[in-house]
Chains A and B, each alone.
Chain A
């Protein structure tokens, strides 16, 4: 693929990011600090994993980076310039920063064909291309994500594809603008265990060949370790630990990381866990 890559070192810098939600219940107002003071830098060719329990603010970070939400504090800087919130500037930002959503069953429009989903971002971000060229590119992209032959999938609708195939379409859509940075918010958590690895390998392969900077958000420490160059552990809106995958996993410093690791599958425990679940399932 011949997507133009920017010259010189490019960065996507997240600086002291903050997001508060005001919760109203009756006359009482509570402020929820979903994200407080998160900073890190994404670079092309590197994958950073963001792990943490449910509700720790991972998706909020993702949504702010992809400009679906505004931060209450801090900055997102693309090549040093603050991320815009509207208009052409935002469009240019989005041609560099894309997102893959968690649930491929929800992130594709049931009304439109697969081709539509890939063609639209191409058309928006490459307005100089002719319809024929756009279609060719769309087919190329579908083959890129291993939906081959593309013609078999192009005219189908999302509900006619499996979860893994849909997530591949979502990845193709994210690649279409020619993005340098991809935020993947739990890209495989909704998929069947047997096809997770295929999708993750595809992401890793694309990341290497296109030199993408990937923020890989996950619950799963094992895949985080396998697929990333750095792991950040998030807890209650803060990053409590970060570092080389091996050192974080093998030598966790923060107490929370340790509990996460304990909870995560170590094969013996997994068996034990399954037995527990079964026992519970029978009693209820």
Chain B
């Protein structure tokens, strides 16, 4: 009866060879693609904008005059000696711009990193552990989520800045960054929780638990690396939120008046009636820089989104293919089969 034991064994020729070939091809493609995802135009533009602005913020302050030196003539238009003119108080606008960019980037990076950290803490832990932990953490996240962001930041900022005993720290950009960080994590936490929850169910997570990995190692070594693109996107989102938030706060006079940021420049311009006195060189450069920085970061974010979610990337590609096929007269046939 030995023949009865192995009816499945005979190799079925038929679909097998083609499917193996397909697997090989896919594997090869993967291998090529893996080290660096294809750099799209969006990503490249975004990176160039952000890198140029970042270099400007990092390096330019070393070469400009003291941004708080008021010995210059007031409200000089752009010209010799002062590329971007001067403010009402005689500060050099270019020097202020250099320091302001540095200040804004500092706030953005610190707040973004803090927000990401909190989002991981609340989102990933909640998603991974589930149960009571999840319920408590999700409750806190939801509370943070439904409180409108800017008003909350304003209340906290106003409160801390008027707290006795903080000294110059109360008006520093570091404090503003912290306030922005602890108010800006909830959205990311929701996203991370959902992803962690689905990754938790993956077999490789279960397998690493069976292998004996401790929960924190499972989270940080097995799960988080697979979240890197998502984390990067959340970080960039946090940075944008913080830079714009800081600008908003500063414009309202709740910003780090002890430091110079793009936001405080705008605030100075506003209180100094730059618009009324038509000193466009005072408020347009910081405004434009904020807009550019936001654009650059958003472009990078879109590009990362496309990597995380290949459907987004394939959509324009598919559209292009279709146009090309149409041009060449071999469009998709009616029943959906590709000609």
Show the binding face of A for B, using Cβ within 8 Å: 63, 66-68, 91, 94-95, 98-99, 101-103, 106-112, 120-121, 124-125, 157, 159-160, 162, 170, 173, 176-177, 192-194, 196-197, 220, 222-223, 225-226, 249-250, 265-267, 270
Contacts and interface: CB of A to CB of B under 8 A. Distances in A.
A125 B210 CA distance: 12
Contact of B5 (A68, A102, A225): A225
A99 B23 CA distance: 26
Nearest to B10: A193
Contact of B210 (A99, A103, A197): A99
Question: Which 10 residue pairs of A and B lie closest in terms of their CB atoms, listed nearest first?
Answer: A106-B203, A107-B203, A124-B212, A121-B211, A111-B225, A109-B204, A265-B7, A226-B5, A194-B11, A107-B207
Nearest to B26: A159
Contacts, number: 98
Given A101-B207, A194-B12, A109 B4 contact: no
Interface of B: 1, 4-9, 11-12, 16, 19-20, 23, 27, 30-31, 34, 202-204, 206-213, 222, 225-226
Contacts of B203: 101-103, 106-107
B7 A267 contact: yes
Nearest to A125: B212
A220 B5 CA distance: 10
Contact of B212 (A95, A112, A162): A95
A220 B8 contact: yes
A51 to B, nearest CB: 14
9 contacts: A103-B203, A106-B203, A110-B204, A110-B226, A111-B225, A120-B208, A157-B34, A222-B6, A270-B7
B204 A194 contact: no
A176 B226 CA distance: 24
A155 B212 CA distance: 22
A66 B207 CA distance: 10
Chain B, interface SS category: helix
Contacts of B208: 109, 120
B230 to A, nearest CB: 13
A12 B53 CA distance: 64
Nearest to A63: B206
Given A109-B204, A193-B8, A197-B9, A160 B211 contact: no
A173 B209 CA distance: 12
Contacts of B225: 111-112
Contacts of B210: 66-68, 94, 98-99
A120 to B, nearest CB: 6
B198 to A, nearest CB: 12
A170 B204 CA distance: 10
